[in-house]
């Protein structure tokens, strides 16, 4: 009987954890990383310093990001860019308009 109680408690914990995770995703702050490629000398510091490892480089060494939603907005790349070629901005999700 005690085994069944533990199983039910674990299942309830997983449900509330997934609900909390869904709420956190909904309230997660989003950021946009802007690269000024005319200023960039393709040194690779931004990709080397990226905490989340989301800044990639193309065949010429210029940075780009495929998963912008993974950026946590720490601005470490922006602060350490010697060419001031990176800007991080807050991004807001599109607002839904309802009729009536």
Domains annotated for the chain, with CATH where assigned, are 2-91 (3.30.70.20)
| Residue found under tokens 């308009």 | 97
Average pLDDT on 12-36 reads 71
Per-residue pLDDT tens over the stretch 29-61: 999 999 999 999 999 999 999 999 999 999 999
Tokens linked to 85:
């070629």
pTM: 0.66
| Confidence tier at 26 by pLDDT (50, 70, 90) | low
């Amino acid at each position: 009987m005690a085994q069944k109680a533990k199983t039910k408690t674990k299942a309830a914990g997983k449900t509330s954890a997934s609900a909390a995770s869904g709420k956190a995703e909904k309230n997660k702050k989003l950021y946009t990383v802007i690269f000024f490629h005319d200023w960039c000398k393709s040194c690779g510091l931004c990709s080397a310093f990226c905490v989340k490892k989301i800044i990639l480089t193309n065949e010429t060494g210029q940075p780009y990001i495929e998963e912008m939603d993974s950026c946590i907005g720490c601005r470490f790349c922006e602060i350490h860019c010697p060419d001031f070629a990176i800007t991080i901005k807050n991004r807001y999700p599109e607002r839904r308009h309802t009729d009536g």
